[in-house]
Structure 1
C-alpha cells in the first residue's frame, strides 16, 4: 500500500464513522481485470450506492476497506464459513442495511495483485447471484409497483425466474434492441405452475416504460448502452438500476 494510505483513509473515516472507506487501486500485473479495475476506480459517489447490485460486488473493493472498529463490530464482523463464502459481499450488504455509508478516497493508495489462486475464485457464481437477487428485491423492487427488465435474453429471463412470485407479477415487460427477440412478442414462463402460463411482452426499449432493471453488462457495448440511457434522460437510482 502507498505510504499515505492509512492517513488519508483514517481522515475520511473520522469524518464518516459509519462508513466503509475505500480507495482507487492499481492492478499488478498491469492490465489485469481491465473492466473491473476501471469500474472500481471511476464510479461516482452516487454510483457507489446505485451499482451495489451488479456482479462486480462491493463498489469499494474489499482489500481497500478502512472503517472504525465500532462500526465493524456493529455490522457483525466477517462470516467465517470458509472457502466459497463471499464474506466481503455479506458484510457490505449488512453495512448498507444498517445505514452505513460508502466512500472512496480518490487516490491510488493500494497495489491490488491479481493471481489465479485468489480466494475470490472459489465463490460460486450462483451463490453471488442469489445474494444479489435477494438484496435487489429487498432494497429496490419492494419499493416499486411495476418495472421493466432491460434484456429479453438469457440474463433478463434468468432474473425474472429468480424473483419471488410477488415481484414476478410486477414485471410489466422485457425490453431489448434485438429485433429477433422483439418479433417474438412475448416470453412465456414455461416453468410456472400457473394456468395459463404467464406471458410477458417483449418491447423495443423506446416503447418500454421505466423503471428498469438493466441486465446488460456495463462497459461491453462500446458506450452504446450508456448513450441510450442518457438519450432517454433516465436517472440512475431512480429510473433504473444496473444488475449485470
Structure 2
C-alpha cells in the first residue's frame, strides 16, 4: 500500500459504516478499508446498531489494526433491545465523523424496524474506491447522485413492487439550498434511459417513439446503437412533422444516416415509448391514447 498522509491531520474522507449483527461479513468488509490505495487522511466511523453477535468484538479487533496503519476509527452505538435501522445508524455515524467527504459502506444484513424484509448489501470496497470516488467528487463538485431514483430502480431489480397510497405522506420543501439542485438533469436522464434499455426494450423486437419533437428525438439519440435499430418510427399529431415524413439522425456515424419515418399516431404500430408529458394538452393526448385501447406495460409506457 502507498504511505498515508499524517494520521494526526484532520481526515479528508470519512468512511461511514452502519453495523448490525454483521459478524459473517465484517472481517472482509473491514479488510477492504485497510486495503484502500488512497494516500490522504481518512477515518472509519462505525455505528453499532444493537448487535447481539460478535460484531463489537470484531470492530475492536480491527480498530487496532486500522489505527496501526494510520486510519483512525470512531465506534459508536447503543445496546437497546431492538435495532433502530440502517438510516438511523448512518446518520449517527455521520454525526460522529469529521471528514470533508463521506464514503458509505454497508457491512451486512441490517433489518429496519419500520420496513419489513429490508436488507442492505454486504459491501467489500475495491482498493481504488475511495481514491477514485474522491477524485470524481472534487472534479464535479456540483454533480450529485439521484439516490432515491437509484434506490427505486434497485428495488424493482430485486423483484419489488409498487403500491399507490392516495394520501399525502411527505411535504417536499423546495429551496435554493436543497440537495436536489446538486443532481444534474442530464444525470437523471442518463439513468432513466439506461434503465429503459435494461428492463423494457429487451422485451420488444421493435417500437415506436411517440413524439417527433425535441424530447422524442433526444431519447432516440441517447439510446444505444442496438436500441436505436429497434425504433421503426416516430408518431405525432403535428401535421408539419408528419408532412416532413422522416427524422434524419445527422450525428450518426452510420452511412447512410438513419432516416426514421414520422407517422400519425393512428398509423403507427405499438408498442410505444411515450415522450409526451401528461396534463399539458388539455386532455387531447390522453384522449388519443385511450382511443387506441392499449394496455400500459404491454403496449406502451410513459417515459416523460
Query: Does the alignment reach a TM-score above 0.5?
Result: yes
Aligned to 2:271: 211
Q: Which moved more, 1:109-118 or 1:225-234?
A: 109-118
1:75: how far off? 9.6
User: Match of 1:99?
Assistant: 159
RMSD after superposition: 2.1
Residues 1:125 and 2:172 are matched in the alignment: no
Work out whether residues 75 and 98 of structure 1, in 8 Å CA contact, stay in contact via their aligned partners in 2. Answer: no
Give the deviation of 1:213 after TM superposition: 0.4
What are the residue-to-residue correspondences of 1:37-56 with 2, within 5 Å? none
Q: Tell me, which stretches of 5 or more residues in structure 2 are unaligned?
A: 1-113, 124-129, 138-142
1:184 and 2:231 matched: no
Give how far 1:122 is off: 1.6
Q: Which residue of 1 aligns with 2:221?
A: 161
- In the aligned structure 2, how far is the partner of 1:118 from the partner of 1:211? 38
1:92 Cα shift?
A: 1.0
Deviations, residues 91-120 of structure 1 (Å, cap 9, x unaligned) = 110111011122233333333333232111
Does residue 1:73 correspond to 2:120, yes or no?
Answer: yes
**Distance in 2, Cα, partners of 1:216 & 1:105:** 25
Using the size of structure 1 for normalisation, the TM-score is: 0.67
Alpha-carbon deviation of 1:74?
4.5
Partners of 1:148 and 1:175 within 8 A in 2: yes
Whole-angstrom CA distance in 2 between matches of 1:140 and 1:75: 28
Which gives a bigger RCO, structure 1 or 2 (Cα 8 Å, sep 6+)?
Answer: 1
Offset of residue 72 of structure 1: 4.4
The offset of 1:67, in angstroms, is: 2.9
Once residues 181 and 243 of structure 1 are traced to their aligned partners in structure 2, the CA distance between those partners, rounded to angstroms, is: 21
Question: What is the SS of the residue equivalent to 1:193?
Answer: coil
The answer (yes or no) to whether the contact 1:75–1:94 under 8 Å persists in 2 is no
Change (3 A) 1:71 1:175: same
User: Taking structure 2 as the reference length, what is the TM-score of the superposition?
Assistant: 0.54
Q: Structure 2 matches for 1:15-54, cutoff 5 A?
A: none
Structure number with larger C-alpha Rg: 2
Tell me how many residue pairs correspond in the alignment.
175
Deviations 1:63-83 (A, max 9, x none): xxx633x5241598xxx9776
Note the alpha carbon deviations across 1:31-60, whole angstroms, 9 max, x for none. Answer: xxxxxxxxxxxxxxxxxxxxxxxxxxxxxx
Gaps of 5+ in 1: 1-65
